[in-house]
Amino acid sequence: MTMPKLPQWLKEVGWRTVAGALLLGGIIHILATMAVPIVSSGHAFARLQESLPLNQMVVLPPPAPGKQPLPFLPPDALYAMCRYDISVDLVLVTAPMAQAGWTLSLHTPQGDNFYVMPAQESRRGTVSLTLVPSAERLGEFATTPRRISAQETQVASPSWQGLVVLRAPLKGLAWRAETEAALRRASCTPVKRS
């Protein structure tokens, strides 16, 4: 069995060229991978930013062709979302967890889901939580007061801004009005730091 003959020009390529190219290629690979989250303008937070007023819960229209808020978003659910900013005030989130399958989730602008609460048979009703800056964030403003009522659940946000997403799976079209009404009870309210 004979080896295929290499083209003449390929024999001109030195091993130093190949080694250097592989090294530089590796560096470009790493830089490109790390740069995508920084330079990409199509991430979920950027796509939703225009349609979500700050610190207000918005019930989104049912997903439909051409009117999806995000790609690959499960269409058999209704959504309420809130774009929060806790750089000035804290934000109080209240959400009705009406049925098993409902989820309340918090996301950073980079898409990290740093908190999620599913509704369960044993845990229904309205949940309430206050978004506060994480210790790392407060370190940048060490004088910022952070005294909050002891009765409330506090969730530390790793970023000043982010998204609150309340997802309500739809059992069928007959449940749409009831589900939308429940979603409208969700709220996102700025709370003065005391």
Partner 1 sequence: MPSARGPERGRRSWPTRGCHLSLIANILVNVTVFVLLAVGGGLGSAWYMIEAGSRLSTRTAGPWTTWSAAGRSDADPYTRAHIVRDGLLPLASTLEITYQAKADSRGGRLHSGCEYTIVMDHFGATWWSLAAFDGQGGLIPNAAERFAFNSDNVMREPDGRAIIALARDARPGNWLPISGSRVNLVLTVQDPAWAAAVYEGGAKPLPAIQRLACR
Binding residues for partner 1, rule: CB under 8 A, are: 9, 12-14, 17-18, 20-22, 24-29, 32-34, 36-37, 40, 42-44, 47, 63-66, 68, 70-77, 100-101, 103, 105, 107-108, 110-114, 116, 118, 158, 163, 165, 169-172
Cβ proximity of 163 and 139 under 8 Å: no
Exposed/middle/buried for residue 190 (C-beta within 10 Å: 0-12, 13-18, 19+): middle
Q: Min. distance of Cβ 141 from partner 1 in angstroms?
A: 22
* Of 172, 143, 68, 155, the residue nearest 107 (C-alpha): 155
β pairing state of 113-118 and 77-85: unpaired
Nearer to partner 1, 47 or 193 (CB): 47
Min separation Cβ 4 and partner 1, Å: 18
CB of 183 to partner 1, least distance (A): 17
Query: Minimum Å distance from CB 143 to partner 1?
Result: 27
User: Nearer to partner 1 by C-beta: 47 or 124?
Assistant: 47
Number of helices (H) and strands (E), helices first, in the chain?
4, 9
**Stated length of the chain:** 194
Give the residue among 47, 63, 85 at the shortest CA–CA distance from 168. 63
Least separation, in Å, of the C-beta of 184 and partner 1?
21
Q: Which is nearer to partner 1, 120 or 128 (by Cβ)?
A: 120
Nearer to partner 1, 63 or 193 (CB): 63
**Cβ nearer to partner 1, comparing 159 with 187:** 159
Please return the burial class of 158, using the count of CB atoms within 10 Å of its CB with bins 0-12, 13-18 and 19+: middle
